[in-house]
Amino acid sequence: MAIKSSAFPYRRGSNTSEKDFFDIPDEPILSVAKRQLRHVRTWVVVLVLFLLIKWMRRTPLPPLPLPHIHYDEVDWSRFAYTQYATSETYLCNCVMVFEALHRLGSRADRLLFYPKEWDLVIEDDTDRISQLLVLAKEQYNVQMVPVTIEGIMAESAGGGESSQSSWDTSTAKLYAFGVVQYDRVIHLDSDMMLLQPMDELFFLPPTTIAMPRAYWLLPETQTLSSLLAVIEPSYREFTYLKEAVKPAIFGQINITNSRYDMEILNSRYGDNALVLPHRQYGLISGEFRTKNHRRFLGTEHEQWNPDKVLAEAKFVHFSDWPLPKPWVMWPQEQLAALQPACNQNPGTPQESDCRDREVWKELYDQFRRKRKDVCKLLSFPAPI
Protein backbone atom coordinates (compact mmCIF):
# COMPACT_ATOMS: atom_id res chain seq x y z
CA MET A 1 0.00 0.00 0.00
CA ALA A 2 1.35 3.35 -0.93
CA ILE A 3 1.83 5.85 1.77
CA LYS A 4 0.83 9.38 1.08
CA SER A 5 3.67 11.77 1.16
CA SER A 6 1.65 14.12 3.34
CA ALA A 7 2.12 11.76 6.29
CA PHE A 8 5.78 12.71 6.40
CA PRO A 9 5.81 16.38 5.53
CA TYR A 10 9.36 16.92 6.72
CA ARG A 11 11.12 14.40 4.54
CA ARG A 12 14.11 15.46 2.54
CA GLY A 13 13.14 17.61 -0.31
CA SER A 14 9.97 18.85 1.34
CA ASN A 15 9.18 22.49 1.00
CA THR A 16 8.35 22.71 4.71
CA SER A 17 11.14 24.30 6.72
CA GLU A 18 12.99 22.04 9.16
CA LYS A 19 13.22 25.06 11.48
CA ASP A 20 9.43 25.02 11.89
CA PHE A 21 9.57 21.39 12.95
CA PHE A 22 11.14 22.33 16.31
CA ASP A 23 8.51 25.06 16.87
CA ILE A 24 10.92 27.31 18.69
CA PRO A 25 8.88 30.23 20.19
CA ASP A 26 9.68 33.57 18.78
CA GLU A 27 10.07 35.31 22.19
CA PRO A 28 12.94 35.97 24.63
CA ILE A 29 13.86 33.30 27.18
CA LEU A 30 13.27 35.85 30.00
CA SER A 31 9.62 36.23 28.96
CA VAL A 32 9.11 32.48 29.06
CA ALA A 33 10.68 32.31 32.51
CA LYS A 34 8.46 35.10 33.82
CA ARG A 35 5.35 33.36 32.53
CA GLN A 36 6.30 30.12 34.23
CA LEU A 37 7.16 31.99 37.44
CA ARG A 38 3.66 33.45 37.55
CA HIS A 39 2.22 29.93 37.63
CA VAL A 40 4.57 28.93 40.44
CA ARG A 41 3.70 32.09 42.38
CA THR A 42 -0.01 31.36 42.07
CA TRP A 43 0.44 27.89 43.54
CA VAL A 44 2.58 29.26 46.37
CA VAL A 45 -0.14 31.79 47.26
CA VAL A 46 -2.78 29.06 47.24
CA LEU A 47 -0.63 26.87 49.49
CA VAL A 48 0.03 29.71 51.95
CA LEU A 49 -3.67 30.57 52.14
CA PHE A 50 -4.54 26.93 52.76
CA LEU A 51 -2.02 26.64 55.60
CA LEU A 52 -3.13 29.97 57.08
CA ILE A 53 -6.80 28.96 57.10
CA LYS A 54 -5.92 25.61 58.68
CA TRP A 55 -3.83 27.30 61.38
CA MET A 56 -6.55 29.88 62.15
CA ARG A 57 -9.13 27.15 62.57
CA ARG A 58 -6.90 25.30 65.00
CA THR A 59 -5.59 28.25 67.00
CA PRO A 60 -7.94 31.26 66.91
CA LEU A 61 -6.29 34.63 67.25
CA PRO A 62 -6.57 36.32 70.67
CA PRO A 63 -9.02 39.22 70.83
CA LEU A 64 -7.76 42.73 70.21
CA PRO A 65 -7.97 45.43 72.91
CA LEU A 66 -11.50 46.76 73.29
CA PRO A 67 -11.93 49.60 70.77
CA HIS A 68 -14.13 51.75 73.05
CA ILE A 69 -11.42 52.01 75.72
CA HIS A 70 -8.81 54.67 75.00
CA TYR A 71 -5.94 53.00 76.84
CA ASP A 72 -3.48 55.85 76.23
CA GLU A 73 -5.82 58.34 77.92
CA VAL A 74 -6.42 56.29 81.09
CA ASP A 75 -5.01 57.43 84.44
CA TRP A 76 -3.53 54.04 85.32
CA SER A 77 -2.55 55.16 88.82
CA ARG A 78 -6.23 54.63 89.73
CA PHE A 79 -6.01 50.88 89.09
CA ALA A 80 -3.92 48.01 90.45
CA TYR A 81 -3.39 44.27 90.46
CA THR A 82 -2.95 42.66 93.88
CA GLN A 83 -1.39 39.43 95.08
CA TYR A 84 -0.57 37.99 98.48
CA ALA A 85 2.14 35.57 99.56
CA THR A 86 2.61 33.69 102.82
CA SER A 87 5.46 31.34 101.87
CA GLU A 88 8.44 31.20 99.55
CA THR A 89 6.56 28.87 97.21
CA TYR A 90 3.62 31.21 96.73
CA LEU A 91 5.89 34.25 96.64
CA CYS A 92 7.55 32.79 93.55
CA ASN A 93 4.10 32.26 92.01
CA CYS A 94 3.26 35.91 92.69
CA VAL A 95 6.44 37.05 90.99
CA MET A 96 5.47 34.93 87.98
CA VAL A 97 2.11 36.71 87.78
CA PHE A 98 3.80 40.11 88.03
CA GLU A 99 6.27 39.08 85.34
CA ALA A 100 3.37 38.12 83.06
CA LEU A 101 1.60 41.45 83.68
CA HIS A 102 4.84 43.24 82.85
CA ARG A 103 5.41 41.15 79.71
CA LEU A 104 1.81 41.60 78.53
CA GLY A 105 2.10 45.36 78.84
CA SER A 106 -0.31 46.16 81.68
CA ARG A 107 0.16 49.71 82.93
CA ALA A 108 -1.82 49.38 86.16
CA ASP A 109 -0.02 49.40 89.51
CA ARG A 110 1.03 46.13 91.15
CA LEU A 111 0.73 45.44 94.89
CA LEU A 112 1.99 42.55 96.95
CA PHE A 113 0.67 41.80 100.46
CA TYR A 114 3.17 39.80 102.49
CA PRO A 115 3.83 39.00 106.18
CA LYS A 116 5.28 41.94 108.06
CA GLU A 117 7.91 39.55 109.49
CA TRP A 118 9.63 39.44 106.08
CA ASP A 119 12.11 42.08 104.92
CA LEU A 120 13.93 43.19 101.79
CA VAL A 121 17.43 42.89 103.26
CA ILE A 122 19.23 40.05 101.47
CA GLU A 123 21.48 38.38 104.02
CA ASP A 124 23.11 35.89 101.62
CA ASP A 125 22.48 33.82 98.49
CA THR A 126 20.19 31.47 100.40
CA ASP A 127 17.81 34.24 101.51
CA ARG A 128 15.27 33.38 98.82
CA ILE A 129 12.32 35.31 100.26
CA SER A 130 14.20 38.62 100.38
CA GLN A 131 15.66 37.95 96.94
CA LEU A 132 12.22 37.44 95.43
CA LEU A 133 10.80 40.51 97.17
CA VAL A 134 13.65 42.64 95.79
CA LEU A 135 13.19 41.09 92.34
CA ALA A 136 9.48 41.94 92.33
CA LYS A 137 10.13 45.49 93.50
CA GLU A 138 13.05 46.38 91.25
CA GLN A 139 12.32 44.46 88.06
CA TYR A 140 8.51 44.48 87.95
CA ASN A 141 7.83 47.72 89.86
CA VAL A 142 5.73 45.99 92.54
CA GLN A 143 4.70 48.02 95.58
CA MET A 144 5.40 46.17 98.82
CA VAL A 145 2.61 46.11 101.42
CA PRO A 146 3.58 44.33 104.67
CA VAL A 147 0.51 43.15 106.56
CA THR A 148 -0.50 40.95 109.46
CA ILE A 149 -1.37 37.54 108.02
CA GLU A 150 -3.84 35.87 110.35
CA GLY A 151 -3.78 32.10 110.72
CA ILE A 152 -0.32 31.67 109.22
CA MET A 153 1.18 28.25 109.96
CA ALA A 154 4.76 27.08 110.07
CA GLU A 155 6.16 24.97 107.26
CA SER A 156 6.91 21.32 107.87
CA ALA A 157 10.37 20.11 108.74
CA GLY A 158 10.86 18.76 105.23
CA GLY A 159 10.67 22.24 103.76
CA GLY A 160 7.18 21.83 102.31
CA GLU A 161 4.13 23.75 103.35
CA SER A 162 1.64 22.49 105.84
CA SER A 163 -1.30 21.05 103.92
CA GLN A 164 -3.56 23.56 105.62
CA SER A 165 -1.45 26.70 105.54
CA SER A 166 -2.64 27.93 102.13
CA TRP A 167 -6.25 27.48 103.28
CA ASP A 168 -5.80 29.20 106.62
CA THR A 169 -4.19 32.29 105.10
CA SER A 170 -6.43 32.69 102.06
CA THR A 171 -8.32 35.56 103.69
CA ALA A 172 -5.21 37.68 103.14
CA LYS A 173 -6.62 38.51 99.72
CA LEU A 174 -9.33 40.53 101.48
CA TYR A 175 -6.72 43.24 102.07
CA ALA A 176 -7.49 44.24 98.47
CA PHE A 177 -10.67 45.87 99.77
CA GLY A 178 -8.59 48.20 101.95
CA VAL A 179 -6.43 49.90 99.30
CA VAL A 180 -8.90 52.77 99.00
CA GLN A 181 -6.44 54.96 97.07
CA TYR A 182 -7.51 52.95 94.00
CA ASP A 183 -10.83 53.08 92.16
CA ARG A 184 -10.63 49.40 91.27
CA VAL A 185 -8.24 46.50 91.81
CA ILE A 186 -8.00 43.02 90.33
CA HIS A 187 -6.97 40.28 92.70
CA LEU A 188 -5.62 37.06 91.19
CA ASP A 189 -4.80 33.76 92.81
CA SER A 190 -1.13 33.00 92.29
CA ASP A 191 -1.42 29.34 91.21
CA MET A 192 -2.32 30.31 87.67
CA MET A 193 -0.68 31.21 84.38
CA LEU A 194 -1.68 34.42 82.63
CA LEU A 195 -2.19 34.00 78.90
CA GLN A 196 -3.61 37.33 77.72
CA PRO A 197 -3.96 40.94 78.91
CA MET A 198 -7.03 41.56 81.07
CA ASP A 199 -6.93 45.29 81.80
CA GLU A 200 -10.42 45.58 80.28
CA LEU A 201 -11.81 44.37 83.62
CA PHE A 202 -10.95 47.73 85.19
CA PHE A 203 -13.70 49.29 83.08
CA LEU A 204 -16.62 47.10 84.06
CA PRO A 205 -19.87 48.76 85.13
CA PRO A 206 -19.83 49.97 88.76
CA THR A 207 -20.08 47.06 91.22
CA THR A 208 -18.55 46.24 94.57
CA ILE A 209 -17.14 43.00 93.23
CA ALA A 210 -17.13 40.93 90.05
CA MET A 211 -16.23 37.22 90.05
CA PRO A 212 -16.67 34.18 87.78
CA ARG A 213 -18.75 31.21 88.87
CA ALA A 214 -17.13 28.02 90.07
CA TYR A 215 -18.58 26.37 86.97
CA TRP A 216 -17.33 22.92 87.98
CA LEU A 217 -19.91 23.02 90.80
CA LEU A 218 -22.81 23.74 88.46
CA PRO A 219 -25.73 23.13 88.39
CA GLU A 220 -25.93 22.05 92.03
CA THR A 221 -24.69 25.42 93.27
CA GLN A 222 -24.23 28.92 91.88
CA THR A 223 -21.09 29.51 93.95
CA LEU A 224 -18.76 32.31 92.87
CA SER A 225 -15.07 31.48 92.54
CA SER A 226 -12.51 33.65 94.31
CA LEU A 227 -9.63 32.77 91.96
CA LEU A 228 -10.31 36.15 90.35
CA ALA A 229 -12.02 39.14 91.95
CA VAL A 230 -12.49 42.61 90.48
CA ILE A 231 -12.95 44.85 93.52
CA GLU A 232 -13.95 48.43 94.24
CA PRO A 233 -12.00 49.16 97.45
CA SER A 234 -14.13 50.42 100.30
CA TYR A 235 -13.30 51.13 103.92
CA ARG A 236 -16.78 50.02 104.95
CA GLU A 237 -16.50 46.70 103.12
CA PHE A 238 -12.96 46.14 104.36
CA THR A 239 -14.07 46.69 107.96
CA TYR A 240 -16.98 44.29 107.56
CA LEU A 241 -14.80 41.57 106.00
CA LYS A 242 -12.18 41.86 108.75
CA GLU A 243 -14.91 41.19 111.28
CA ALA A 244 -16.23 38.29 109.22
CA VAL A 245 -12.79 36.66 109.25
CA LYS A 246 -12.49 36.58 113.04
CA PRO A 247 -14.65 33.49 113.71
CA ALA A 248 -12.45 31.45 111.37
CA ILE A 249 -9.29 32.67 113.07
CA PHE A 250 -10.52 31.67 116.51
CA GLY A 251 -11.65 28.23 115.40
CA GLN A 252 -15.41 28.81 115.58
CA ILE A 253 -15.80 27.49 112.02
CA ASN A 254 -14.74 24.06 110.85
CA ILE A 255 -11.76 24.74 108.60
CA THR A 256 -11.32 21.26 107.22
CA ASN A 257 -13.48 21.60 104.11
CA SER A 258 -13.82 25.37 103.69
CA ARG A 259 -11.80 28.04 101.99
CA TYR A 260 -12.66 31.05 104.08
CA ASP A 261 -12.19 33.73 101.47
CA MET A 262 -14.57 31.98 99.07
CA GLU A 263 -17.19 31.37 101.74
CA ILE A 264 -17.01 34.91 103.09
CA LEU A 265 -17.21 36.50 99.65
CA ASN A 266 -20.15 34.31 98.62
CA SER A 267 -21.96 35.03 101.86
CA ARG A 268 -21.54 38.78 101.39
CA TYR A 269 -21.83 39.16 97.62
CA GLY A 270 -23.31 35.93 96.26
CA ASP A 271 -26.62 37.58 95.35
CA ASN A 272 -25.36 40.92 94.05
CA ALA A 273 -21.93 40.40 92.49
CA LEU A 274 -21.36 40.99 88.80
CA VAL A 275 -20.74 37.54 87.29
CA LEU A 276 -17.81 37.27 84.89
CA PRO A 277 -17.86 34.72 82.03
CA HIS A 278 -15.87 31.73 83.22
CA ARG A 279 -14.82 30.76 79.70
CA GLN A 280 -12.56 33.81 79.65
CA TYR A 281 -11.98 34.37 83.37
CA GLY A 282 -12.29 31.03 85.14
CA LEU A 283 -10.74 28.16 83.19
CA ILE A 284 -9.17 25.43 85.35
CA SER A 285 -6.63 22.93 84.09
CA GLY A 286 -8.80 20.03 85.25
CA GLU A 287 -11.25 20.82 82.44
CA PHE A 288 -8.89 19.11 80.00
CA ARG A 289 -9.12 15.88 82.01
CA THR A 290 -12.88 15.50 81.86
CA LYS A 291 -14.89 14.12 78.95
CA ASN A 292 -18.15 15.83 79.86
CA HIS A 293 -17.76 19.57 79.20
CA ARG A 294 -21.43 20.45 79.66
CA ARG A 295 -20.74 22.57 82.75
CA PHE A 296 -17.99 24.56 81.07
CA LEU A 297 -19.64 25.01 77.66
CA GLY A 298 -23.10 25.60 79.10
CA THR A 299 -24.72 23.57 76.33
CA GLU A 300 -24.73 20.07 74.89
CA HIS A 301 -24.76 21.35 71.32
CA GLU A 302 -21.30 22.94 71.17
CA GLN A 303 -18.38 20.70 70.31
CA TRP A 304 -15.42 20.75 72.67
CA ASN A 305 -12.25 22.15 71.11
CA PRO A 306 -9.28 22.42 73.52
CA ASP A 307 -7.36 24.80 71.29
CA LYS A 308 -10.31 27.15 70.90
CA VAL A 309 -10.98 27.07 74.64
CA LEU A 310 -7.37 27.90 75.44
CA ALA A 311 -7.30 30.72 72.87
CA GLU A 312 -10.35 32.33 74.52
CA ALA A 313 -9.05 32.05 78.08
CA LYS A 314 -7.28 34.94 79.78
CA PHE A 315 -5.56 32.55 82.17
CA VAL A 316 -5.60 28.96 83.34
CA HIS A 317 -5.87 28.10 87.03
CA PHE A 318 -4.07 24.90 88.02
CA SER A 319 -6.51 22.59 89.74
CA ASP A 320 -6.19 18.85 89.15
CA TRP A 321 -6.86 17.21 92.49
CA PRO A 322 -5.55 14.69 93.52
CA LEU A 323 -2.54 15.57 91.36
CA PRO A 324 -0.30 18.16 93.04
CA LYS A 325 0.23 21.74 91.93
CA PRO A 326 2.64 22.25 89.00
CA TRP A 327 5.63 23.18 91.17
CA VAL A 328 5.51 19.65 92.58
CA MET A 329 6.53 16.95 90.10
CA TRP A 330 3.91 14.28 89.40
CA PRO A 331 4.24 10.80 90.85
CA GLN A 332 4.54 8.80 87.62
CA GLU A 333 2.08 6.09 88.58
CA GLN A 334 -0.47 8.73 89.56
CA LEU A 335 0.10 10.65 86.33
CA ALA A 336 -0.49 7.55 84.22
CA ALA A 337 -3.83 7.00 85.93
CA LEU A 338 -5.07 10.60 85.98
CA GLN A 339 -3.76 12.30 82.83
CA PRO A 340 -6.35 13.20 80.16
CA ALA A 341 -7.48 10.15 78.19
CA CYS A 342 -7.24 9.98 74.42
CA ASN A 343 -10.48 9.84 72.48
CA GLN A 344 -9.62 6.76 70.45
CA ASN A 345 -8.23 3.49 71.87
CA PRO A 346 -7.14 5.08 75.19
CA GLY A 347 -4.48 3.18 77.09
CA THR A 348 -3.36 1.14 74.08
CA PRO A 349 -0.42 1.48 71.66
CA GLN A 350 -2.96 2.52 69.03
CA GLU A 351 -4.36 5.43 71.03
CA SER A 352 -4.94 8.62 69.06
CA ASP A 353 -6.68 11.98 69.16
CA CYS A 354 -4.85 12.97 72.34
CA ARG A 355 -5.09 16.74 71.92
CA ASP A 356 -6.54 17.25 75.42
CA ARG A 357 -3.54 15.48 76.90
CA GLU A 358 -1.09 17.44 74.74
CA VAL A 359 -2.59 20.80 75.72
CA TRP A 360 -2.77 19.84 79.40
CA LYS A 361 0.85 18.66 79.56
CA GLU A 362 2.08 21.70 77.66
CA LEU A 363 0.40 24.01 80.18
CA TYR A 364 2.25 22.32 83.02
CA ASP A 365 5.52 22.34 81.06
CA GLN A 366 5.17 26.05 80.29
CA PHE A 367 4.49 26.87 83.93
CA ARG A 368 7.52 24.90 85.10
CA ARG A 369 9.85 26.39 82.51
CA LYS A 370 8.65 29.91 83.32
CA ARG A 371 8.96 29.29 87.06
CA LYS A 372 12.53 28.10 86.62
CA ASP A 373 13.35 31.16 84.53
CA VAL A 374 11.60 33.81 86.67
CA CYS A 375 12.46 32.45 90.12
CA LYS A 376 15.95 31.24 89.36
CA LEU A 377 18.57 31.45 92.09
CA LEU A 378 19.74 35.03 92.30
CA SER A 379 23.10 36.28 93.43
CA PHE A 380 23.39 39.49 95.42
CA PRO A 381 26.33 40.93 97.30
CA ALA A 382 26.03 40.61 101.04
CA PRO A 383 25.14 43.86 102.84
CA ILE A 384 28.06 45.83 104.16
- The structural domains of the chain, ordered by start, are 74-374 (3.90.550.10)
pLDDT in tens, 273-294: 999 999 999 999 999 999 999 9
Q: What percent of the chain has a predicted confidence (pLDDT) above 70? A: 70
Amino acid 148: pLDDT: 85
The residue type at 243: E
Average pLDDT estimate for 108-136:
92
Q: What is the largest CA-CA distance in the chain?
A: 121
pLDDT in tens, 13-70: 545 555 554 455 556 666 766 666 666 667 766 676 666 655 554 444 444 555 567 7
Question: Which residues, including other chains, have CB under 8 Å from residue 195's CB and lie 6 or more apart?
Answer: 310, 313, 314, 315, 316
CB-CB contact of 320 with 330 (8 Å): no
Question: Which residues, including other chains, have CB under 8 Å from residue 136's CB and lie 6 or more apart?
Answer: 94, 95, 98, 110, 112, 142, 144
* Helix (H/G/I), strand (E/B), else coil: 158: coil
pLDDT in tens, 342-379: 877 555 554 567 899 999 999 999 999 999 999 986 55
pLDDT in tens, 131-149: 999 999 999 999 999 998 7
Average pLDDT estimate for 321-336:
87
